[in-house]
Amino acid sequence: MKQLTVLITVLALWALPAMAAHTNSSTTRPVQVDPAPPGLVTLNDRVTIQDGVIRLGDVFQGADEYGDRVIAYGPRPGSRAVFDARWLRRVANTFKLDWRPRSAAQRVIVVRESQVISKSAVEALLFERLIAEGGDPSSRVTLANRSFRLNLPVGEDYLLGIEQMTYDAASGRFSAILAWGNAKDERRRVTGRLERMVEVPVLANRLMGGDLIQKADLTWIAVAQSRLARNAITDASQLIGMSSKRSLSAGRPVSANDVRPPTDVSKGETVTMVLTTPVMRLTAKGRALEAGAKGDTIRITNSQTRTVVEGIITGPGQVRIDVAVSLAMR
């Protein structure tokens, strides 16, 4: 029994320094986190590429020696492609990458960069070709697709050209194949029309009904003849000095129905009625029942007889009465 007690005491005394060392270590020294082990694989949620293929290293960080392996075709320039968790897991398993999707909703979006060729640049290219085909130099090319734009690959100088074209001079319609690069899919068909343009005067600023149009109110724009209304005014002299019948917007062709000569007589205005014969000239006062401009026929009430007669406006406040209605002025 005495020997057992001595053994327990010795074991206790031996264990105390070890426990003290463990306690001091945990309280006096900070906890160190081991660095990430080599070969750790993470996913790039959004990838931007320039060429036509997607590589393993574009999608997975840590792919190491497999990073340059091609795993899919890239989207067309300016477009994007989406790869879901199931596809990503298959790729990771193929290359024995230590990666699993967090959920079935995890995905990667791959966007391919592009150099954008604007609609106006393409129309200018087509215009040169159409003029060479005999088109009218005063015309303008208009593509059927108003939101058209062309996305070409980046990283190389791609010369854009026209592979073939058909043109109908009677209608102005054309069809062309745009081509660039060497691949078979680097082609795009476009259609449109070569339209003859007409210079027309338009209002530089909005006018309200009854406003007088002056030369300073006008500017000029080019409009496709096929889109110009038949009664549109193309001569500025037919607008200057006219009065707007209603509110008119700026920058739009003005039709003959939108304007009239300026009002010389207002409704309710007192006017001078004049009757002229070879032997006499009679005048009387009347009240205009209608508004009108010079040359318009309006109805007037004779202020003395209260008889309603018709007269032709000859100027501001002046109305000519025909002989046939002269008795109404007496």
Give the helix/strand (H/E) hosting 310: strand 308-315
List domains and CATH numbers for the chain.
42-113 (no CATH), 117-197 (no CATH), 198-260 (3.90.1210.10), 270-329 (2.30.30.760)
pLDDT in the model for residue 127: 95
Residue ranges of the chain with pLDDT lower than 50?
Answer: 1-37, 328-329
Spatial separation of the C-alpha atoms in residues 150 and 162, rounded to whole Å: 13
Question: What is the per-residue DSSP string for 129-190?
Answer: HHHHTT--TTEEEEES-TT--EEEPSSS----EEEEEEE-TTT-EEEEEEE-SSSTT-EEEE
pLDDT in the model for residue 324: 62
Find how far residue 276's CA is from the centre of its chain. 64
pLDDT in the model for residue 36: 35
Q: What is the pLDDT of residues 36-74, one digit of tens each?
A: 345 689 999 899 999 889 999 999 999 888 999 999 999
pLDDT in the model for residue 4: 31
Please, where are the H alpha helices in the chain?
2-28, 56-59, 85-94, 119-132
pLDDT in the model for residue 27: 35
pLDDT in the model for residue 26: 35
pLDDT in the model for residue 277: 82
Find how far residue 7's CA is from the centre of its chain. 93
pLDDT in the model for residue 113: 94
